[in-house]
Amino acid sequence: MHDDPHHPPALGQQQKLSHYGDSGQASMVDVSAKQPTRRTATASAFVELSAAVIAAFPQNPKGDPLEVARFAGIQAAKRTSDLIPMCHPLPLTHVDVQARIEGNGVRITATAATFGVTGVEMEALTAASVAALTVYDMTKALDKAIVIRSVQLESKTGGKSGDYAREGGLA
């Protein structure tokens, strides 16, 4: 077994991907035998914007792009199992999404938590992704060259696989 949370084993070192049954068909993992634990995950995304787009934020006719993105990310985390076919619906105990101007764009950071039998990585990643897409939607009239970069898991806690923190990451 590989125990380094910063460098998970290569795919060939694992027995199999959990969402594939013995016949090779995709399936929802049965988590009914697992013990509930507190689980958290933080994900991030970066929306690269021009200086002109950032300068226009206060005059955006749709409202404050950062605040609308925060709300969209929170709503997205709650809808993850509706969007990602093999995700379990989870009773989220906390979701926090932050959007802030950083350098040449907007840094999105999303954290999700639950007390349950499966992790919240997908909820955090979905929140960060939808928040980033919302910034795009709120600013696309000004610039079509917007780029969403680096949607990634920053950290997670709890569960059988243990804790993880991206080396050099935000968490």
Catalytic residue flag (residue 137): yes
As given in the structure block, the two tokens for residue 162 are 């243990």
- Phi first, then psi: give them for residue 138, nearest 5 degrees: -75, -15
Phi-psi label, residue 7: left if phi above 0, alpha if psi -120 to 50, beta otherwise: beta
Q: Bridge partners of 111?
A: 42, 96
3-state secondary structure of 29: coil
Q: Which of 4, 64, 82, 137 is catalytic?
A: 137
As given in the structure block, the two tokens for residue 112 are 């999700």
Q: CA end-to-end span of the chain, whole Å? A: 25
**How many helices (H) does the chain have, and how many strands (E)?**
4, 5
Give start and end residues of each alpha helix (H) in the chain.
51-55, 65-78, 80-83, 121-139
Please say whether the beta carbons of 154 and 165 come within 8 A: yes
Residues known to be catalytic: 137
